[in-house]
Amino acid sequence: MDHFSFKTRLTFAAAVALFIAGGYAALATAPLAKASAAQVCLAQAIYFEARGEPRAGQFGVASVVLNRVAHPAYPGTVCDVVFQGSARRNACQFSFACDGLTDRAPPNRAWHRSLQMAGRALAGLAPDLTGRATHYHARSVDPPWAKKLTHTVTIGEHRFYHGRAAVVASR
């Protein structure tokens, strides 16, 4: 027999929800020393591919990485997706990973922001504004593969794509 009032049960449920959300918030704001490998790899992609973009564009890059992790045609971890093909110069999925330059970001404000955004994305606290995109490119280039995919959205200086037209309609 339940001796707690509806108000008491509701208060308890709210406290549990806040406790769980606090755990997600801790992940989303973890300093580098406590960041997981996945968070660092995702932050590198955000930083090197979109640090000058609006927040929505940065979350767009994060979404592409996470959409690839969830897709069976790509590796199953964030780091493996971000660094896929990086062993060959200019043959990788994300240009920063194989351009011959350092993949270490300086400890500046943009890097810390990228770490926080990566944490939020990994915790499920960032919306996918890309229509489940698995590809993107800068608007300044016109790669041949883009013609074979469906354009879902343009955010800032990036155009986002997915391989199936039905994805956009289902969002």
Is 16 domain-assigned?
yes
**Nearby residues of 60 by Cβ (< 8 Å), 6 or more positions away:** 50, 53, 129, 130, 133, 136, 153, 155, 156, 158, 160
Does residue 28 fall inside a structural domain? yes
Q: Give the lowest-confidence range in 2-11, 63-72, 102-111, 138-147.
A: 2-11
| pLDDT single digits (tens) 106-142 | 778 999 999 999 999 999 998 899 999 999 999 999 9
Residue 150 lies in a domain: yes
**DSSP structure string for 27-84:** HHT--GGG--HHHHHHHHHHHHHHTTS-HHHHHHHHHHHHHHHHSTTS-SSHHHHHTT
> What global pTM score does this model have?
0.75
Residue 80 has pLDDT above 80, yes or no: yes
**Number of folded domains that form the chain:** 1
Q: Is residue 74 assigned to a domain? A: yes
| CA 168/CA 44 separation, integer angstroms | 27
Q: pLDDT, tens digit, for every residue of 145-158?
A: 999 999 999 999 99
In a domain, 1, yes or no: no
Q: Which two tokens stand for residue 48?
A: 């090197």
Helix (H, G, I), strand (E, B) or coil at 119: helix
CATH number at residue 132: 1.10.10.2520
pLDDT at 90: 67
What's the domain range around 93?
A: 6-170
Domain assignment present for residue 97? The answer is yes
Q: Which of 19, 69, 70 is nearest to 41 (CA)?
A: 69
